[in-house]
Chains A and B, each alone.
Chain A
Amino acid sequence: MKDMKYTAGTDNGRTAEPETRRLHAPFSREVIRSLHAGDTVLISGTVYTARDAAHKRLCEALAAGEALPFDIRNAVIYYVGPTPPRPGQVLGAAGPTTSGRMDAYAPTLMDAGLAAMIGKGDRSEAVIDSMRKNTAVYFAATGGAGALLSKCIIASETVCYEDLGTEAVRRLTVQDFPATVVIDCEGTDLYKTAPAQYRKEG
């Protein structure tokens, strides 16, 4: 089974491996309500890429009352700027970038319908408040696993902002893309709760 390769080897049976759930993107708000911080998932379906410069443009378009170049209602945005594909590849390395840089824009996009974000690193209180209000979810993918995550992307087409190069918005088709629910729609934040369990300071 494909999920098995993402779990640890047999030499460490101390704790049960996390159970992995399969999700199909885009997700309904009902599915989002069933996700809890700490759940590990494999995502298949459609996600959009956007990072710093694309977020700025999307929010400028909304502020100007313009329609967005793609339907953001219930959409999933993956914060990534991939490397160019080698011949025969869909994309090059495609791991997550630091989500915090999108914090200034994320609440505006959630108000417009964005349902889920995939990235890495913690989010501001304003983002978490907006996630509660809009029933949205935030997943972390493994930063630094760009070559592995690239293999989970089976199709890619540029949607808009092609001039931004790696920062252009792309529509990706992903299959069994591994991620962890880090902040759920109730605002529970694994980045705050998990390290405390392993801390041995003092």
Chain B
Amino acid sequence: MSIREIDVSAVREAVARLCVKANTELDPALYEALRKASAAEVSPVGRSILCQLVENAGIARATGTPICQDTGLAVVFATVGQDVHFTGGSLEEAIHAGVAEGYTAGYLRKSVVGDPLRRTNTGDNTPAIIHYRVVPGDGFEITVAPKGIGSENMSRLFMLKPSQGADGIREAVLTAVREAGASACPPLVIGVGVGGSFEKCAQLAKEALLRPIGQNSADPFWADFERDLLERVNRLGIGPQGLGGTTTALWLAVEPYATHIGGLPVAVCLNCHVARHESAVL
């Protein structure tokens, strides 16, 4: 077995680059989904909004202006091979430094306050929120998923009883979407975590947002569940920006996980149409 060395400066540079890319270039699959929705939407106001969002994505890409002014909390997922040795300093510090560099050099908004009650802006959008996963091998993959607060504020966690079953999960998701209304900036991308524990479930919901748009669960049972639930969401009538219509969500993904015999946690992480995430492999 050999140990592979990675200099943390490469991590810093990658994170900085990914922060800017994620905030200025809409995922091509989402762009396509928006374009299709703008033709299919029944509400005239809804169509006009979807067309604005298509035009907006084009302007952002062409000018390097962020797609949305809320360039988010920098949520970072690092998948670290156990045979990797980081050199040149602290990995965690390098990730934070990359965020500071990306948000400053990329003209992104600094939206982080250092203390939740005393609320002084840290000035460089740090600290990032970092999730590590250690895996076999000597690979290293890092994903930056900036998350806006409009939709994050409307995300929900439900600790259901096992007897509430599939209906309970569906009702939890529909409740979250209904109560979010216009505030989460529909058309939405919805990540649902089912199972695990209180905190695992919330993380699953966020990870569900990382799945490529259009790729349903590999498990046919959950793939059917996802398709059905997306249809139900779009029957709510909330529509683009909550002003009525048939396009309330563009995509919905569910990530299930083993859980306790006595529990059925459900987390619903709402995202606007700008479900940002960009990855790099070092």
Contact = CB atoms under 8 A, between A and B. Distances in A.
Interface of A: 5-9, 11-12, 14-18, 38, 40, 53, 80-86, 89, 92-95, 97-98, 100, 120-122, 140, 142-151, 164-166, 178, 180, 182, 190-191, 194-201
B38 interface: yes
Given A97-B150, A147-B60, A122 B45 contact: no
B59 A199 contact: no
Interface in B48-65: 48-53, 55-57, 59-60, 63-65
Nearest to A149: B56
Contacts of A142: 49, 52-53, 56, 241
Interface residues of B, number: 57
A83 B53 contact: no
B272 interface: yes
Given A98-B153, A195-B243, 15 more contacts: A5-B55, A81-B109, A83-B71, A97-B69, A121-B182, A143-B68, A144-B185, A145-B52, A145-B53, A146-B69, A147-B65, A180-B45, A180-B243, A195-B236, A198-B239
A148 B55 contact: yes
B265 interface: no
Chain B interface secondary structure, helix, strand, loop or mixed? loop
A48 to B, nearest CB: 16
B237 interface: yes
B111 interface: yes
Nearest to A87: B107
Contacts of A147: 56-57, 59-60, 63, 65-67
B43 A198 contact: yes
Given A8-B47, A18-B45, A195 B238 contact: yes
Given A83-B108, A197-B244, A198-B239, A98 B66 contact: no
A85 B51 CA distance: 24
Given A120-B241, A121-B182, A146-B68, A9 B107 contact: no
A77 to B, nearest CB: 16
B27 to A, nearest CB: 13
Closest 6 CB pairs of A and B: A194-B244, A199-B237, A198-B237, A8-B47, A121-B183, A143-B185
Interface of B: 38-45, 47-53, 55-57, 59-60, 63-71, 107-111, 119, 121, 123, 150, 153, 181-183, 185, 235-239, 241-246, 272-274
Contact of B69 (A38, A92, A100): A92
A97 B70 contact: yes
A35 B64 CA distance: 36
Contacts of A82: 69, 109
Nearest to A163: B121
Nearest to B62: A147
B51 A9 contact: yes
Contact of B107 (A40, A85, A95): A85
22 contacts: A6-B52, A8-B38, A8-B39, A9-B38, A15-B42, A15-B43, A53-B119, A83-B65, A83-B71, A83-B108, A97-B69, A121-B150, A121-B182, A121-B183, A140-B182, A140-B243, A142-B52, A144-B56, A145-B55, A146-B66, A199-B235, A200-B235
B60 A93 contact: yes
A78 to B, nearest CB: 11
Contacts of A146: 56, 60, 65-70
Contacts of A94: 69
Nearest to B34: A144
A18 B68 contact: no
B52 A178 contact: yes
